[in-house]
Amino acid sequence: MLRSVLMFPKFSMNNEIDIIRSQYDNLYYHIAPHISLVFPFDSQLSDEQIIEVVTEVAKQYPPFEIQLQEVSGDSKHGYVWLVIDQGSSMLEKIHDALYDKVVFRRYLRKDLPYQPHITIAQGLMPDQTTQLLVKLQNNRYDLLTTITEVSIEHILDNDDSENFATIALDNEYEN
């Protein structure tokens, strides 16, 4: 079963993101807006072993703020995302610390540089993506929240996200 490690930011003004995602993101009904830290992987390790490693990393980092103000994307591959401005360096540190662990090291995609973001559209044709980017880049977003926890999910056969662990930054664990 595929799993991934991610963060689910909680914004007070999530409605705008939801409207865009409901129209343009084919995973809208499967997973909430999120920031990927370890991309989907298939491992024989138990959930408990994965939780242990993620907890070890999470306890090294305090809660931190993120801010998203701009839209960017990849027209060739049909993706549009909100760029994380403030907080991206902390996300990169956590991402790197997770992939430094033996458990995750072999799943690192060296062909894709890590760019912290929240996907709002995917699976689009190149011309659709370009049109959406032009439309959305005229808008200014000012989304601010504090990241306090890391989640681990199962990705079910129907692409639904099933969160099986939530680990607070600074190592407060809840299940």
- The domains of the chain, with CATH numbers, are 2-174 (3.90.1140.10)
Residue 171 has pLDDT above 60, yes or no: no
Q: Encode pLDDT of 45-100 as tens digits.
A: 999 999 999 999 999 999 999 999 899 999 999 999 999 999 999 999 999 999 99
Q: Average per-residue pLDDT in the chain? A: 92
Segment 115-128 mean pLDDT: 96
Percent of the chain with pLDDT over 90: 83
Closest C-alpha to 11, from 97, 113, 115, 120: 120
Confidence class for position 173, pLDDT limits 50, 70, 90: very low
Q: What 3-state class would DSSP assign to 77?
A: helix
Q: How many CB atoms neighbour CB 17 within 10 A?
A: 21
User: Is the separation of the CB atoms in 78 and 123 below 8 Å?
Assistant: yes
Confidence at residue 13, expressed as pLDDT on a 0 to 100 scale = 67
More confident residue, 11 or 160: 160
Sign of CA dihedral 98, 36, 151, 68: positive
